[in-house]
Every structure is written in structure tokens, then in C-alpha cells.
Amino acid sequence: MTKMIVGLGNPGDKYEKTKHNMGFRALDLLANELNVDFKEEKPFMSLVASTFVNGEKLFLVKPLTFMNESGRAVAPLLKYYNIDEADLTVMHDDLDSPVGRVRLRQKGSSGGQNGIKSVITHVGSQTFNRVKIGIGRPKHGMTVVNHVLSGFDNEDKEIAQDGIFKAVDAMKFYLENGDFQKTMNKFN
């Protein structure tokens, strides 16, 4: 069995601390806890780390295609490593959840999240696991684009970081027991 966990975000220092990079930030923390380093896989337009957990191969992937084209990186990797979409988990920001709230789902529509929309389009399926990390709705008349491409204000920074910790705890639990439904029951 081989699993792939993808964190969605935008590459580059300019976007590192933005709300849209919650998937990247969570995946960085997971990679650190698993003691693995990312290497650029140019043919796949991604940073990829790999290891074994409980005898199963695990790939951690950060697409370098920018959020709205994430599927262009994910689909070829799934095909190359012969990974079923049921063994794919995508971690990403969620505009429709309060800051720091983590929700897990096994399938469904994009919910307006363009990175997920791209993954669905390129993978050709909505049946893959998702870990949604809440970033809240825009405040004070701010546009959605400006909201997702800005950092958290001081009152939300710690709550957002707690969401990242919870998302990583959920992924570690999932990797230990191999059952996403059980992980959903524990962390939702």
C-alpha cells in the first residue's frame, strides 16, 4: 500500500505565511515530525518527500504550480507511483470554517476551493480524502483574494497554528491506523 498526502499552497517567500498556505504549513510540520526532507521533482512540478510508516510507503507532496493549478502536479504523481485516489489525502485552507477549525472529509465537491477544483479536474474523481483547515471569511469588506493572500492578524495567529497542529495530529493518527473513517470520527 502506498499513500500520498498533498499540502496545497503557493510557492515562494511572498506567500509563505498567507492563509492560502495552510496546506503547505501543515505538510511542512508533518515532514519535520517524520524527519524527512523535500526534494524538487521538476518533471512533476512539486517538492516531494518520501518515507515508510508502518511498512507503507508515504509520499508528501507540495505542488509548485500555484494553488489554482495544483491538479497538474498531483495527477501525474498519482499515475507515476500507481496510487489510487482513495489513498490520496489533500490538506488545504477552508474559507467556510472558522480560523483553526479542522474538518476531514472523504469525498465531495470543491466547495469553491480552486486548488481542490483543480485536483478533482485533473485526477478525474472527487473521491479522495481532505483535511480542511479553517481560515475564516474576509473581514471589514476585504475581498476573498486579498483575504487568502494575506497573513493572519495577531488575534488569529495562535488559533491558526493550533489548527495546523490538529491537522498534523489527525494525519499521524491516520498513518498509524490506516483508516480515514476512524480518523474522521476522532478529529471531526
Binding-site residue numbers for tRNA are 15, 66, 68, 114
| Residue of 20, 92, 122, 140 marked catalytic | 20
Model confidence over 38-65: pLDDT tens digits? 999 999 999 999 999 989 999 999 999 9
| Torsions phi, psi for 93 (to 5 deg) | -75, 150
Model confidence over 114-163: pLDDT tens digits? 999 999 999 999 999 999 999 999 988 899 999 999 999 999 999 999 99
| CATH number assigned to the domain comprising residue 114 | 3.40.50.1470
Query: H or E stretch including 47?
Result: strand 46-53
Binding-site residue numbers are 15, 66, 68, 114
Model confidence over 95-108: pLDDT tens digits? 999 999 999 999 98
- Give the number of domains in the chain: 1
User: Mean pLDDT over residues 19-44, rounded?
Assistant: 97
Q: Is 20 among the residues known to form the active site? A: yes
Question: Using N-to-C axis directions, what is the helix angle for 114-123 and 71-80, rounded to 10°?
Answer: 40
Residues spanned by the domain of 110: 2-187
